[in-house]
Chain A
Amino acid sequence: MAAKDSPLKQFEVIPYSKTEVANYDISFTNSSLSMVITVAVITLFLTLTVNPRSLVPTRMQLISELMYNFIAQLLSDTVGDNAKKYFPFVFSLFMFVLIGNMVGMIPYQFTFTSHIVVTFALASVVFIGVTILGFVNHGIKFFTFFYIPGVPFYMHPLLIPIEVISYLSRPISLSVRLFANMLAGHTLIKVFASFVVAMPFFTGALPLVFIVALTGLEILIAFLQAYVFAILTCLYINDAYHLH
């Protein structure tokens, strides 16, 4: 367990109530609350700002449309013609990670994307889905994905295992990237915050300035990681269609 003033204390899951179903603990926790807030923010924003009859969008509607076009463009750029089918999923994924990260930026709010179990679950959904997609599209020929054409034959015993490992490590890299970024950023802010308290007199203002700067950086990273998560998902979907 983290110590009382540890910078990692902010990542502790705190249950609000004890709920068990079939011996499984599904208590509503601060993590669950963050997820619910995230989903509420996304759904309410995308619903309330968009007036289906308006020809000229309001500023808020423009943000929704911007998000829509951003992901639509991203998908069509990477996946191409087959992109439309996966748009709702990639858009949901992007918004969930983005708003999850942003909600985590609010002081005292739990950041569920800083938990490896959550990010790994999301990455696994992508990984398993993309692998199934690859087998559906190519059948057994999907295994040629690990065979790199145009390489001397004696290199294959070396390259094929590397390809397999890199493919299997996709969910790990995808989940750890998001988890580690969130963890590091929030920890860093907390460390500087402890400096503010620890330093004598007004010298505490110096780390405070750092916190302000880091908060800006964290907001950038929050967006960037959501973008990376979405674009990698797009690339994996593309790989499932075009093996090489």
Chain B
Amino acid sequence: MPQLEQTEFFVSQLFWLVVTFSFLFIFLWRISLPRIGNVLEKRERKISEDLTAAKELQIEAEKIQETIENQLKQARTDSSDMIKSSTLSFQEKAQAELNKLDNELDIKIEKSAQAIEKNKNDSVSQIQTQINEITRLTLSKVASFDISDDEIKKAVNSIERSIN
């Protein structure tokens, strides 16, 4: 077996093992491994930073969502209030308008009634005068009585009273 027979190369193998392995160890220790470590660390840091940023943004987004919802809620209540109040005020206005119209109509009716009453009274008094005149004329034509207006009036009135 050459491994055990070629003892003359033991020193050579050990020497080159020490040389190559020392070089490898120092090179990896000083150059390669810190480089890879840095890359990994940098990536780790970047990922965690991104994750934190994402978390913060999510919280912010949630806040914004909440504000939007609150605003929407506020707007809904506001609009319903507005509708309610405007409905109420319209009703009041309409009521007032109606009341005014009622009053005006009442006044007009009152006036008309008064005018009718006055016309009736006028007509009645005119009829009375005419009755008196006709009575006097009839009496003077028929019996040539000359009766004073006062007497006629009295007679008519007494008849009227008896009728009534």
Contact = CB atoms under 8 A, between A and B. Distances in A.
Partners in one complex: yes
Nearest to B21: A96
A76 interface: no
B12 A32 contact: yes
B23 interface: yes
B39 A117 contact: no
A26 B15 contact: yes
Interface residues of B, number: 37
Interface string B13-29: 11111101101110111
Contacts of A36: 16, 20
B12 A43 contact: no
Contacts of B23: 39
A121 B39 contact: no
B5 interface: yes
A92 B12 contact: no
B90 interface: no
Contacts of A2: 1-2
Interface string A114-131: 111110011000000000
Contacts of A61: 39
B3 A47 contact: no
A180 B55 CA distance: 55
A: interface residue count bin: 35 or more
Contacts of A88: 25, 28-29, 33
B40 interface: yes
Contact of B17 (A15, A50, A121): A121
Interface string A52-72: 101101000100110011000
Interface in A81-97: 87-89, 91-92, 95-96
Contacts of A46: 28, 32, 36
A119 to B, nearest CB: 10
Nearest to B30: A88
A212 to B, nearest CB: 26
Given A42-B24, A92-B29, 4 more contacts: A27-B9, A27-B12, A39-B21, A112-B17
Going nearest first, the 10 A-B pairs with the smallest beta carbon separation are: A88-B29, A32-B16, A35-B20, A46-B32, A26-B15, A92-B25, A13-B9, A11-B2, A12-B2, A39-B24
Interface of A: 1-2, 8-9, 11-13, 15, 24-29, 31-32, 35-36, 38-39, 42-43, 46-47, 50-52, 54-55, 57, 61, 64-65, 68-69, 87-89, 91-92, 95-96, 112, 114-118, 121-122, 179, 183
Interface of B: 1-6, 8-18, 20-21, 23-25, 27-29, 31-33, 35-40, 42-43, 46
